[in-house]
Each structure stands twice: as C-alpha cells, then as structure tokens.
A = this chain, B = another copy of it.
Amino acid sequence: MGIKELLIPKDTIFFDLFERQAEIVKEAAHQLITLTEDFTNVKEKRHAIEQLEHKGDQITHDIYEQLNRTFITPLDPEEISRLASTLDEVLDYIDGSAEKMFYYNIESTDSHMIELAKLIHMSTSEIESAVKGIRSIKDPHYIEERCIEVNRLENLADDVLAHAVTDLFKTTDAIKIIKLKDIYEHLEIATDNCEDVANTLSDIAIRHS
C-alpha cells in the first residue's frame, strides 16, 4: 500500500449518500405517478411524498455535515454541494406539485399530469444510473448518455406543457385555469431541475474522467 492510499480515506460515504438521495427522488417520482393515475386518498398519498421529501432533506443535511468534517473529498466541495442542492430541488418540486394538487382542491388529475409525472420518473431513473456511475468514472460516455436522455425528456415535458396549457385555455373558468396551469408548470419545472442535476453530473464526469 503506497503513501497515497494511506493518506486518502475511502470517502465512499459521499457516493453512498448521493445514491440514497437519488433513490429517494426516484421513489417520490414513482409515488407522484401513483397519485396522478389514481387521484383518491389524496391526503395520504400527498403525505407519503412529503415524508420522502423530509428524508431527502435529512440526507442533504448529512452530506453538508460530512463535507464540514472531511478534509479530503472524492469530488470537489463545490461539486458535492451543487449535486446535493440540485437533487434536492427536484425533490422539492415533486413534493410541491403533490402539495398543490392537494391544497388547490382540484377535482381530478388528467392525462397531461400523468404524462409529466412519468417523464419526471424516467428522468430521475436516468439520474439514479448516472449517480451510480460517478463512484468510479470509468465510462464518462455512459454518464453523458444518461444526461443527454434527461435533456431529451425535458424537451418532451416542454411539449406536454404547451399542449396542456393550450387545452386548458379552451375552458372559460379562469380559476380552474390558474390552478391547473400552476400545477402543470410546477411539474415541468421538476424536469428542468432534473436537467440541472444532469448538467452537474456531466460536468463532474468531464472533470474526473
């Protein structure tokens, strides 16, 4: 064992935490599909997503704590901080979308919301794979491909939003328009946030490959 191995601690803790965080984000996205596909027991389903959001917050907090304690980190401190905060943002918007569906007291969800929830879930699934890839960046192209797919999904979400809002303006119920437009847009921002995570992962892959 050389001096380098003795000095550098095995900071697998960060990778463990990021993988756990990415899993929680994906699970929240999965539960968002359940909520939009079967809009019953809304309060309970919304609460379950909120619980995941709290779990995610705890992990984000653990990552920052760890960063304060650790002298040598496997990624740059700014990279760790940026990855943790962008992942957290995705979770915030998944949770916020569920919250709006509950608080706005809407009657039902619709196909646009289901489609957006599915695109968010697919994006978080790609992100989870890419996060697993940064533990040992043997294949930056694998990460890059996951990120390109997240960007593609974000473009699809843009289109779904455009169609959803176009449909919405066919009604003359202004208050309904305000509520649903806000929910659609919130869901779409979750995919934008997935793109931010992807860009962060892509930058990490470029720098460390």
Contact = CB atoms under 8 A, between A and B. Distances in A.
A160 B96 CA distance: 13
B203 A103 contact: no
Nearest to A60: B151
A78 B206 CA distance: 9
Given A81-B199, A169-B104, A202-B64, A175 B177 contact: yes
B203 A81 contact: yes
B179 A103 contact: no
Nearest to A202: B64
A122 interface: no
Interface of A: 61, 64, 67-68, 77-78, 81, 85, 96, 99, 103-105, 140-141, 144, 148, 158, 162, 165-166, 169, 172, 174-175, 177-179, 181, 199, 202-203, 206-207, 209
